Structure 1
Amino acid sequence: MSDLSEVVDSYMERTEGLKSFCDRCLRTERYDGNVVLMVVDAAFDSIGLNYFNSIVPKVLEFEEKFVKDGSVQSLEDLGNLPHERVEDLWANERSWNVVISVASHLHELGEGRGLNDRQALRTWARNADLENWSGNPIGKIYGVGLTTYQYLRMMGGVDTAMPDKVVKRVIGKILEEAGQNMPTEDDIEFVETVDRIAFLTGYRTIELCWMTWLVQSEGEKIRMEKYGDVLGRI
């Protein structure tokens, strides 16, 4: 049996630059602070494709086609963008419905309180709890599962984790190596377990979550090495 901190340290030491990336995520500064792209990212990611090979390139393509040309400058614009306009770029209609539904809710929240898009996302995230997620207006959107809900909370400034299959697999391996028995089956219990590991090891929950993806191997490199440059962009 190894000490839990030692095991987690052995994983974390492979992720140089992770802390600064997570700092930006918690400050709602990913994609240069563009909340439109954060919502697109979370919604595209909801269908389970490879994040770095499939999702990120499509988000950046969306930026080129719709943000940089001035068509979509706000959540309000995003919520009014019909799927037909983006079908050539993103064919999945269900996840596009997630895009426009999340964008519309956050816009309405911000408009009602005199908030800009960033403030709207952060206000929503601060008030959106884990236990009652399915009753939250965004949790009720068709196509939004707990993983997408948690992802949006993270980008809105909440130090938490997603019960994604990769996160579960790596955290489960860490617990096995450390000889620890903590609940991981139920999704909410799993997030609470990652919180517990963070508390015991001195890391933030978000750092443990992102670490699990970035230590995955692709070819001869782990993702942290392979996609280190793009992390600074997103």
Structure 2
Amino acid sequence: MSKVPGLKEHCDRCLRTERWGGSVVLMVVDAAFTSIGLNYFTAVVPKVIEFKERFSEIKRLSDLAHCDVEKLRSVWKNRRSWEMAKNIAFYLSTLDEDDRRAIRRWASSSKLESWRDDPIGRIKGVGIVTFQYLRMMGGIDTVMPDKIVKRVINGILREAGMEPVEDDIEFIRKAENIAISCGYRPIELCWMTWLVQQEGKKMRMEKYSDLLQNI
């Protein structure tokens, strides 16, 4: 954690639903792109920025929900990502006319243990990692059980002489407890695992610190 100064501010913005300048549309697009497992900083972020610039007229979730997929594929080819983004946007837009209130209303009522039965959890392409990512951007202090997070946290558990946790829900609860017992928030522990990764000769936190301030 000492290697990631500035992480707290980024996590604060995430929990306030203020990432991407407060655009919930961009948060949903980010989550949909991230879901297919490409490098976040070199593949996902540039494409979200391109989407923002090329489709500046899509300002609200309701706009995204009714946008033509073929038109959107000029930025990001993966059809499944767009179908997922549109379906998430459509559901959230039914909860409140204000996008920020909508995602926060959904997140506050969502339950990890029953995520598969959640209206967003049932959307094709939404796995537990995407579900958790959206909850985090909706204000829930939790952890995503993606491969990097699990590798780092389970590595820490092994070093401490403890058993690694493979089940996703059990892992999330374990990581949340570790964070709290160490005096950090779960979301900070989660982002730390990504940002301490080396990319080339630099750690991601050092390499992308300026970019983090804008996303």
SS in structure 1 of the partner of residue 96 of structure 2: helix
Partner of 1:109: 95
Mapping 1:116-155, distance limit 5 Å: 116-155=98-137
Partner of 1:206: 187
Q: For 1:199 and 1:61, locate their aligned partners in 2 and report how far apart those are by CA, in whole Å.
A: 37
Partner of 1:170: 152
Task: Give me the TM-score of the superposition, normalised by structure 1.
Answer: 0.90
Q: Deviations over 1:39-66 (max 9, x none)?
A: 0000110100000000000000000011
Are positions 1:33 and 2:33 aligned together?
no
Partner of 2:79: 93
SS in structure 1 of the partner of residue 86 of structure 2: helix
SS in structure 1 of the partner of residue 213 of structure 2: helix
Are positions 1:193 and 2:182 aligned together?
no
Partner of 2:3: 14
Q: For 1:105 and 1:138, locate their aligned partners in 2 and report how far apart those are by CA, in whole Å.
A: 8
Q: Deviations over 1:4-28 (max 9, x none)?
A: xxxxxxxx00001000000000000
Are positions 1:50 and 2:39 aligned together?
yes
Partner of 1:157: 139
User: Please, which runs of 5 or more residues in structure 2 have no aligned partner?
Assistant: none
Q: Deviations over 1:159-204 (max 9, x none)?
A: 00011000000001111222233x5111000100111101211110
Instruction: Point out 4+ residue stretches in structure 1 off by more than 6 angstroms.
Output: none
Are positions 1:77 and 2:59 aligned together?
no
SS in structure 2 of the partner of residue 190 of structure 1: helix
Q: For 2:128 and 2:96, locate their aligned partners in 1 and report how far apart those are by CA, in whole Å.
A: 23
- Tell me which protein shows more helix as a share of its residues: 1
Q: For 1:36 and 1:207, locate their aligned partners in 2 and report how far apart those are by CA, in whole Å.
A: 23
Q: For 2:59 and 2:40, locate their aligned partners in 1 and report how far apart those are by CA, in whole Å.
A: 24
Partner of 2:54: 65
When structure 1 is superposed on structure 2, of 48-57 and 194-203 the one drifting more is 194-203
Partner of 1:4: none
SS in structure 1 of the partner of residue 35 of structure 2: helix
SS in structure 2 of the partner of residue 109 of structure 1: coil
Root-mean-square deviation (CA, aligned residues, Å) is: 0.8
Partner of 2:214: 233
Aligned residues: 215
SS in structure 2 of the partner of residue 233 of structure 1: coil
Structure of greater relative contact order (alpha carbons < 8 Å, 6+ residues apart) = 1
Tell me by how many angstroms 1:87 deviates. Answer: 1.4
Are positions 1:215 and 2:196 aligned together?
yes
Q: For 1:82 and 1:138, locate their aligned partners in 2 and report how far apart those are by CA, in whole Å.
A: 21
Q: Deviations over 1:126-155 (max 9, x none)?
A: 001100000000000000000000000000
Larger Rg: 1
